[in-house]
Every structure is written in C-alpha cells, then in structure tokens.
Amino acid sequence: MSWIVEEIGFDPNRITTNGNKFMLGNGAMGYRGTLEEFKKEQLPACTLAGLYDKVGDQWREPINAPNGLFTQLILNGEILSPLTSRYDSHRVALNIRDATYHRDTAFVVGDNRIEVRTRRFLSMEHLDLILMKVEFRCSQDCEITVRTGIDGDVWDINGPHLQEYELSAGDGLIGLSCITQELKKSVSVAEGITLVGAAEEVLIQDSLSMLREIQIKCFAGETYGFTKYVAVGFGDQREQVSKTVQSRVREAMRDRYETLLHRHALHWERKWELSDVEIEGDDDAQFALRYSIYQLHIIAPTESEKVSIPARGLSGQVYKGAVFWDTEMFMLPFFLYSQPKIARNLVMYRVHTLDGARRKAAEYGYRGAYYAWESQDTGDDACTLFNITDVFTNRPMRTYFRDKQVHISADAAYGIWQYYEFTGDDSVLLEGGAEVLLECARFFYSYSYYKEEKNRYEILDVTGPDEYHERVNNNAFTNELVRTTLEIAFKAMAVLESKYPEAYASLMEKLDFSEDLGKLSSMLGQLYTPQPDPATLVIEQFDGYSKLEDVDLRTLKSRIMDKNEYLGGGNGLATTTQILKQADVVLMLHLFKNRFSQEVKKANWEYYEPRTEHGSSLSSCVYALVAADIGNSDWAYPYFMRTATIDLTGDSKQYVGTLYIGGTHPAANGGAWMAAVLGFAGLHLREGKVLFQPSLPEHWQSIAFPIQIRGQQFRVNVTATEVVILSDNRNKLQQTFQVGTEERTIEPGGRSSFPNEGKRRGDGLAG
Ligand code: BGC
C-alpha cells in the first residue's frame, strides 16, 4: 500500500491547495509544500509554532520566518519555474512514511533539457533544522546559475511582522536576523551549503534577502548538486539566537544530510509504530486515514507544553494561528491513545494560559477562568468582536464567538480530565491542572442563572457549537458540558484531598475556594440539562429551537445570493431556521455515549442530520461516529471519507464572508482517526475498562492499530468475526477488555481473541 501522495503535472490554480497538501512539519515549524523558486506571491511559508505578532490594529497572527530554502536555477537569464518556463514533466510527491518532500521537473530551454530534482525534510530530531538536497542534469553543455539563500521577503496576511533585518556572511554560512514588531523577539535563520565540485560564489543582498550566486559549468549528462542546511530559531537575545542557529547548521553540516535523514526517519518509524492504522479491503480509506494521521504528526508539539495545535495547524497564518476547542475535542483522542506525552503537552497548554482565561473572565465580569475562543501564546483572546466581513456591505459583522461560546472552558476542563483518566498521571493535576478545573467550574457558577420558580440553574445567552444560532438559552451541549465540568472539579478535588492533602489545602487556600464548594455542589444538584422529548426522543438544541422555521437544506441554499455569504449572525439565512452549521446535540451524544440510549442517539442523528449544513470541517466526523455507534456503518462511511480526504482534495470552504480560511484541517484529521478507531472499531474507555463495539463498513476485512492505556501498549485487530487483542511483552499491568458483552482480563504479553458479535443497522437499540 502506497505511502506516497503525488501530483503529476503543474496546475497554477493548485498552488495554494498544494501548499497545504504537501506540507512538512515537526511541531515546532511547518513548511508549506511550495516549490523552491517560489516567491511570496505563491505563498511559501515557514510558520513558527508559538510566536505571534501584531502590527497596528491588524489581527495578531503567527510569524512566517524568512525562507531559507529559497533556490532558483537560471539558464541564459531564464529563471527555471513551471510558472514561466517550458517543461516536459513535473511531479511533486510527499512520502508520509518518513515525511520527505520530493520534486522532479524537466525543463526545456531551447534544445536543452534540464532535469531538476529536490528532496527536503524538516528534522524530527532537531526541531529547528530544515534540509534540502538539490540535483540537476542538462542534456547539453551549458552554464547554470544557482541562486540560493534566505529570502526574507515573506508572505504575511496582516504583516509585515519582521523588521530591522541584519544580514550576515562568514565562515561559509549566511544569516538573516530580524525583530518582530510587537514583542521585539529575534527571529534568525542561518544557512550553509555543501556543493559537489568547487565553484566561485558571489553574495547578493538586498534589504530583505541574503543570497548566493554560483555559476556551474555543466557538461551534458553529468549530475550536479548541493545540499542546503538551514536552521531557524527565535528568542529574546538576538545574538544568542543567531549563534544557536549557526551552530546548529555547522553541526548538521558535520553530520551530513544522509545521516540526519536516517535519524529523522527513525523518529518517524517510531511514530508510525505507535499510531498506524491498517485497513484491509479499502485502499482509498487506508490512504486517506494515513494521510490524516501524517497531518497530525507534523503539527504535534513533541517538546513544548507552551503551544498547542492551531485550527489550521502550521499551514500558515490563517485563523490567526489560534488554538480553538478543536484540539481537545477532535485531536486529543488520537494523541491520548497513541502518544500520551504529546497529549500531556496539549493539556498543559491550558495550564500555561490560565491567566489569560482569568483575565477574560474578569473582563466580562465573571469569576474563574473563561478560556479564549481563539487562543495564542498568552491565552488572551485573539477573537475579535467583528470576526466576519459581510460580503454585501463589506462591513465588519458583529459576531459572538468571543463573548458567548462559553463551552470553551468546559472543553479545556474535559481535555485535562480525559488525559488524567487515560494515563492516571497525577502530575498534571498537581502542576496546575486541578487549578484549571476549579477555575473553570467557578466560572460556570458565576455565569449561570438560578431560576427560583423552577428551582434550577440555567445557562443563558450562549453560543453552542452551532455558530449559526448565537446567544441562545440552555444549549443542550453546553449545559451537559458544564455539568461535566462541575463533576470533574469535584473528582479532581477528591483525588487531591485523598492522595495529596497538602497540595489540596494549599490550592483551596490559594483560590480561596472553600465558599465555592457549597455553591458548586448546589449547582451540580440543580443544573438543568435538556433531555429527550418523551414522544420523539429528540433533544432540543436550545430553548425554542423547535419553533424556528423547519426548512430543508436545499431550500435554504436556494436563498443564497453570494456563495461566500455568512449564514449566521444578525441577518444570516440560517439564523431564523433549524439549519445548523455543525454537529451540536449529536456531538454531545458522542461525548457522553453512555449517558444516552441507542434509541435516543438514533432519533437525534436522524433528526439533525438533514438539518446540518456541515459548514465546519468539524462536523462530518461526528455524524460518522454516532452513525457507527448506532450500528449504521453505511451511514457513517461517507461522512468518514469526507473527513479523511479533506486535505487531499482541498475541497473545503475557502472563504467565510471575505475572510480566507483555507489551510489544513487538523480537527478533521483527528476526526478521521476517531471515526475509524472510536467509530468503526468501536473503541471506548470507561472507568478503566477498554470496550470495543465494532461496526465495520461491509467491505472492510479488518482494521488493526496499536493503543496505549495507562502506559501499557496493546495491538488490536478487528475483523467481521473477531477482535484480537495482544498485550505487549514489555507491559507490566493486566488490563480488562470488553468486546460486545464479553469481558476478559489480559495479562502482560497475553493474547485474546473475542468473538465480534457485530453491530448491524439498528442493533443494540435496546440501550
Ligand atoms: C467552527 C468552530 C471551530 C473553528 C476552527 C469554525 O468554523 O464553527 O467550531 O472551532 O471553525 O476550526
């Protein structure tokens, strides 16, 4: 089965899409899949994780570093590029097994055919290092000019972010260092090359770029080439950062490309060992799912707990490089089951941004922690009050994502608790996780309303996941998550109190929490959470939803006047109807699958599915998950494929209003993994027990994958007739598994084959 994503031929209309599709990354930086000769008009970007900048009153967004891979080959004054030159073949490919980018083009200049071949990777071993090998061969003797170096004229959406450029050259290395506008951080890039065969080089510099020009006398049929070693860094001290990147480049040049590639590939081998999902009987699904997993690996913070994963990964500055609830709800499960260390980094990010969340709560007059809807380095909210521009008037439109999507605090709390339940790692609670949980619970108490006549707490004036209906009351999803947050806060306190009484006491004191305890427990006892209607079993998405116009999606779409018009907000077409942007109640049914019967899940899936526009890439996977849960894998399958192929096809919403929202879709990538493993294989962790309730698509022979639970490694293989579980020899603990109705405990190194009782349409509806 192939691990190669490739495109043959060159289509200028696909430059942006392919920048996303062929992306490389190592969690610390992302490098778009653009050609080496491209300038900023073609949107190359080396996007740095965790460094943001704001210019004037424009949006704050991540930094794109100067492009250290910039390279042009010039023949007779002509820059070789498929944009402007003749070529007779062109291919780009991404090997997702070892995360290497390959480019092969044969240009034709007169009678001369010049074959150009490049290979590049972002080291998974040294997260500041990028390497590239360039080779070329001509069919006729000629002289090629190689222009290569660091292009500091970077693509920015709301820039320019970099200033005070300093160019340097010495000891064979060139360097470019600059300062960000807002925080005055230094960003430095160093580059060194090794060239086969001696050649004279001339340095060419302008105010933004530092390039070398090298003339190479080429003999027909001979291969020439060079390797580029590039390091990128940022920090407070300009000199220090420059020194670090220079010494990284020197060290890399000593180690050499092949050795570094080999070591990088070993890291990737390990990643796949821990996470590869093998599907038999469906090559398309296999490929798309692997690709989705690749996308998650390239943006995962392996070494830092100060960054999380932005909604568009590291594919550029889109969406302000902001971290949304996408991480906890759609990506975290993949990391929990495959690489809990990375999951830990992701949840610790919420600990490090707690002060920002406290500031936001205070700003709105609440207590506790109200997390940023769009979170960056400090946890202050990057979301603006006017987040969308109306396509008709070209005026900014008031949106309430920032003010009213309070579920974000519950999502953050849920993520922390998920991590704790999966790993049993108390350190996260002790190092600030418990504090976050308590502050989130406190926020919800201060946000809630106690309705005396009904003797219940309600959560009013919120926006749920369905952003087309803003400022609604008692959104079922939000209320259920608020309840869960309160429960989690009490559970965390119980853990601390029994195991770490001193830490418990000092946290209570620090937060002055003792008075809150009674309040929270009263709220937990009396919190209203919308329940299924006894007759229809449908859970109303929010108070009054069922009274809205019940129009079908096709009719709603026939009312659209501009393909980019926003359907929510004050005048949005969906606002007054039952059409929802994305899974809302249905997502709640997935998250709390044990709290609701199969009949309820089915009734709600059937009710909400035709009313969902899937205007967010977060939606399809949820419909896949719940369809698989109720035994309808044929309903689930198209939703799974839509999710898993999103970054391969590039078919996704590119504009909301006038705002460009293209880029990669990590939540959908995580959703693809969830649909396959949690949906079709039916994996679920409940009170320390691992459950499987498979519902495989008819044409799948099997799905096999590794999982990690509480530090123990297992391998699972699900077929239509059995579920085989292997416990790794190195495991230390036994683990209980339940498949269908059968429960067994597997010893370290043991193997067990359970019958797959299967789930077909409507099975298990008894609850
Ligand atoms: C969705 C949000 C999501 C955000 C970032 C929006 O379109 O409605 O739920 O968090 O995109 O992916």
What DSSP letter does each residue of 252-270 carry, written as one string? HHHH-HHHHHHHHHHHHHH
Burial bucket for residue 237 (CB in 10 Å: 0-12, 13-18, 19+): exposed
* pLDDT for residue 227 is more than 80: yes
- Binned at pLDDT 50, 70 and 90, residue 759 comes out as low
Express each pLDDT in 263-294 by its tens digit: 999 999 999 999 999 999 999 999 999 999 99
Residue identifier of the C-alpha nearest atom 11 of ligand 1:
616
Distance CA 199, CA 518 (A): 78
581 annotated binding-site participant: yes
Q: Which atom of ligand 1 is nearest to the CA of 467?
A: 8
Structure tokens at 687: 């009170």
Structure tokens at 18: 């392919």
Residue to mutate (ligand 1; options 324, 327, 587; most atoms within 8 A of CB): 324
Q: Which atom of ligand 1 is nearest to the CA of 615?
A: 7
- Binned at pLDDT 50, 70 and 90, residue 765 comes out as very low
Distance CA 429, CA 572 (A): 42
Catalytically annotated residues:
467
In this predicted structure, what is the pLDDT of residue 639? 98
- Binned at pLDDT 50, 70 and 90, residue 422 comes out as very high
- Name the β-bridge partners of 170: 173
Query: How many residues comprise the chain?
Result: 767
Express each pLDDT in 99-110 by its tens digit: 999 999 999 999
Residue identifier of the C-alpha nearest atom 1 of ligand 1:
616
Neighbour tally for 486: CB within 10 Å: 26
| 610 preceded by a cis bond (ω within 30 of 0) | no
Are 334 and 667 in contact, with CB atoms under 8 Å apart? Answer: no
**Mean of pLDDT values over 173-191:** 98
Structure tokens at 703: 């799905």
Structure tokens at 399: 């949106």
Residue to mutate (ligand 1; options 308, 467, 470; most atoms within 8 A of CB): 467
Task: Return the closest-CA partner of residue 115 out of 143, 92, 94, 87.
Answer: 87
* pLDDT for residue 407 is more than 90: yes
Helix (H) / strand (E) containing 219:
none
Structure tokens at 112: 């001369």
DSSP letter (8 states) at residue 549: B
Give me the helices (H) in 424-572, please: 426-428, 434-447, 476-499, 501-511, 514-526, 553-558
In this predicted structure, what is the pLDDT of residue 2? 87
582 annotated binding-site participant: yes
Distance CA 651, CA 642 (A): 9
Express each pLDDT in 352-392 by its tens digit: 999 999 999 999 999 999 999 999 999 999 999 998 999 99
Distance CA 716, CA 714 (A): 7
In this predicted structure, what is the pLDDT of residue 454? 97
Q: Which atom of ligand 1 is nearest to the CA of 373?
A: 10
Task: Return the closest-CA partner of residue 290 out of 13, 679, 676.
Answer: 676
Distance CA 113, CA 75 (A): 11
Ligand 1: centre distance to CA 580 (Å): 13
Residue to mutate (ligand 1; options 387, 481, 616; most atoms within 8 A of CB): 616
In this predicted structure, what is the pLDDT of residue 197? 65
Structure tokens at 604: 């709600």
Please give the model's pTM, rounded to 2 decimal places: 0.97
Strand order in the sheet with 742-746: 683-686, 689-692, 735-739, 742-746
Burial bucket for residue 283 (CB in 10 Å: 0-12, 13-18, 19+): exposed
Q: Is 426 helix (H, G, I), strand (E, B) or coil?
A: helix
184 annotated binding-site participant: no
**Mean of pLDDT values over 431-456:** 98
Residue identifier of the C-alpha nearest atom 6 of ligand 1:
616
Q: Which atom of ligand 1 is nearest to the CA of 582?
A: 8
Q: Is 295 helix (H, G, I), strand (E, B) or coil?
A: helix
Distance CA 399, CA 403 (A): 9
Structure tokens at 359: 């500031």
Distance CA 263, CA 266 (A): 5
* pLDDT for residue 490 is more than 70: yes
Are 732 and 745 in contact, with CB atoms under 8 Å apart? Answer: no
Q: Which atom of ligand 1 is nearest to the CA of 665?
A: 12
CA atoms within a 13 Å half-sphere pointing along the CA-CB vector of 289: 29
Q: Which atom of ligand 1 is nearest to the CA of 324?
A: 10
Provide the residue type at 238 as one letter: R
Ligand 1: centre distance to CA 616 (Å): 6
Task: Return the closest-CA partner of residue 135 out of 112, 108, 96, 103.
Answer: 103
In this predicted structure, what is the pLDDT of residue 755? 96
- Residues 350-361 as b/e (b if ≥16 CB within 10 A, e otherwise) read bbbbbebbbbbb
Ligand 1: centre distance to CA 311 (Å): 8
Structure tokens at 327: 């991480």
Neighbour tally for 662: CB within 10 Å: 20
In this predicted structure, what is the pLDDT of residue 1? 66
Ligand 1: centre distance to CA 401 (Å): 10
- Residues 633-646 as b/e (b if ≥16 CB within 10 A, e otherwise) read bebbbebbbbbbbb
Are 162 and 178 in contact, with CB atoms under 8 Å apart? Answer: yes
Helix (H) / strand (E) containing 310:
none
- Binned at pLDDT 50, 70 and 90, residue 660 comes out as confident
Q: Report the chain's terminal Cα–Cα distance, integer Å.
A: 39
Residue identifier of the C-alpha nearest atom 7 of ligand 1:
616
Give me the helices (H) in 353-475, please: 354-363, 401-404, 407-423, 426-428, 434-447
Express each pLDDT in 7-52 by its tens digit: 999 999 999 999 999 999 999 999 999 999 999 999 999 999 999 9
Residue to mutate (ligand 1; options 318, 326, 371, 381; most atoms within 8 A of CB): 326
Task: Return the closest-CA partner of residue 295 out of 312, 319, 273.
Answer: 312
Mean pLDDT of the chain: 96
In this predicted structure, what is the pLDDT of residue 767? 35
Structure tokens at 568: 């929510």
In this predicted structure, what is the pLDDT of residue 209? 97
Structure tokens at 733: 């603990």
Q: Is 688 helix (H, G, I), strand (E, B) or coil?
A: coil
In this predicted structure, what is the pLDDT of residue 53? 98
Neighbour tally for 41: CB within 10 Å: 9
Q: Is 401 helix (H, G, I), strand (E, B) or coil?
A: helix
Cα distances (Å, whole numbers) of residue 261 to 253, 430, 631:
12, 39, 45
- Binned at pLDDT 50, 70 and 90, residue 68 comes out as very high
Neighbour tally for 680: CB within 10 Å: 25
Ligand 1: centre distance to CA 669 (Å): 14
Are 368 and 358 in contact, with CB atoms under 8 Å apart? Answer: yes
Are 150 and 293 in contact, with CB atoms under 8 Å apart? Answer: no
- Binned at pLDDT 50, 70 and 90, residue 335 comes out as very high
The set of protein residues with a Cβ atom below 6 angstroms from ligand 1 is 311, 324-326, 465, 467, 581-582, 616, 618, 667
Ligand 1: centre distance to CA 700 (Å): 31
Distance CA 298, CA 301 (A): 9
As a 3-state breakdown, the chain gives helix, strand, coil percent values, each rounded to 5, of: 35, 25, 35
Task: Return the closest-CA partner of residue 647 out of 292, 331, 356, 177.
Answer: 292
In this predicted structure, what is the pLDDT of residue 766? 38
Provide the residue type at 19 as one letter: G
Helix (H) / strand (E) containing 212:
strand 209-218
Express each pLDDT in 309-319 by its tens digit: 999 999 999 99
Domains of the chain: 4-273 (2.70.98.40), 284-324+617-767 (2.60.420.10), 339-530+542-579 (1.50.10.10)
Helix (H) / strand (E) containing 57:
none
- Binned at pLDDT 50, 70 and 90, residue 761 comes out as very low
In this predicted structure, what is the pLDDT of residue 652? 77
Residue identifier of the C-alpha nearest atom 12 of ligand 1:
311
Distance CA 497, CA 186 (A): 45
CA angle 674, 680, 685 (to 5 degrees): 60
Ligand 1: centre distance to CA 618 (Å): 7
Structure tokens at 744: 């067994």
Q: Which atom of ligand 1 is nearest to the CA of 616?
A: 7
* pLDDT for residue 196 is more than 90: no
732 annotated binding-site participant: no
Give me the helices (H) in 276-302, please: 283-299
Provide the residue type at 604 as one letter: N
In this predicted structure, what is the pLDDT of residue 411? 98
Distance CA 430, CA 420 (A): 11
Ligand 1: centre distance to CA 486 (Å): 25
Cα distances (Å, whole numbers) of residue 479 to 172, 354, 525, 601:
62, 22, 13, 18
How many percent of the chain have pLDDT more than 90? Answer: 94
- Binned at pLDDT 50, 70 and 90, residue 554 comes out as very high
Residue identifier of the C-alpha nearest atom 5 of ligand 1:
311
Distance CA 190, CA 129 (A): 10
